[in-house]
Structure 1
Amino acid sequence: MSDPKKQPNKPPKPSKRFRILLGLSLALNLLVVGAVVGVIVKGSPSNRGPSGVRETALPYVGAFELEDKRAMRQEMRARLPKRQETRAAMDAGYREFVEVVRSEPFDATRAAKVMEEQFERAGQFQRVGREVSIERISEMSPEKRAAYADRLEYRLDNPRKRKTRKER
């Protein structure tokens, strides 16, 4: 019959790559669950207001008059790469980062370079926005600059009393 000292065939141990992918998948799932729970508990990000860079820029941009905002938006579109190009480059960067993370051995220098390139693309939008804003303010008369400063100060002192989207 069977030898009692022999152990039955055990399934092979999963490869290191499979275990890493499983760990990443679990981490991503936990991140999604955490985000959903956060939205349920605190409300959506639109209910809490903007965050990060957008939060920093919002008072400056919001204090401009509607016609200034429209002109600045057109100027930024003229100076920046087309949206489709930017999105394609960002997507390619994200996918390259995924490849770097999955590669063995992990190349932290390359990962940092890919991430830095992504932040550079975002920074370009911020730089152009600052340039256009300062140019617009420089072109204002002293009276218009004073009115802009008043609107900015009001927004800073009354952050909850913002205009509705239709009024912007």
Structure 2
Amino acid sequence: MGEVQVADLLLPGVGVKVDQLVLTDSEARVAVRSRAASAPCSGCGQRSSRVHCYYQRTLADRPVAGRRVRIELRARRLVCGNEHCARRTFAEQIPALTRRHARRTDALTAQLTDVALFLGGRPGARLFQTPARRHSRARMPTMHACSCRAHHMPSRPGASTSSSSPGHTSHNRSTTGSHPPDPSR
């Protein structure tokens, strides 16, 4: 049986190498870098291994053993070798870990989305106010509210999903006011 790596336990299926793991009472800080020799350009898709520079990127991940997990990724900015590509350099994205401009992992985003959809705003926010899970109460109900509306999820079993159903109210979403519409109306 092979040796188990820290990356395999904390980030299964993600192509990263763990350089350092620091545990405190409230946090696990994991310094990682990509194992891939090259990455595809986000502009044209051509793979490149020519490094332009390195930079530090910090991501929040799912809690482990009652501790917040902070991933410190040594990210690469690569040079695109395609002379016809509009991008000269691009940031490497690690599948199943990073997305452009994201500050949390795909796994944490999925977990927060599930909580927001199943428990709702306040109960979900209370669940995530433990020391290992600090997420804004205001963010919980809005994280994927658009996906709820897009799927027209009924509020109770057997309820109609059509917009002409009894009890359905349409809010005036005027863009002339400086404040968003009051949801209690």
Compute the TM-score of the two structures, normalised by the length of structure 2: 0.23
Q: Highest relative contact order (Cα 8 Å, sep 6+), 1 or 2?
A: 1
Compute the TM-score of the two structures, normalised by the length of structure 1: 0.25
The structure that has the greater radius of gyration is 1
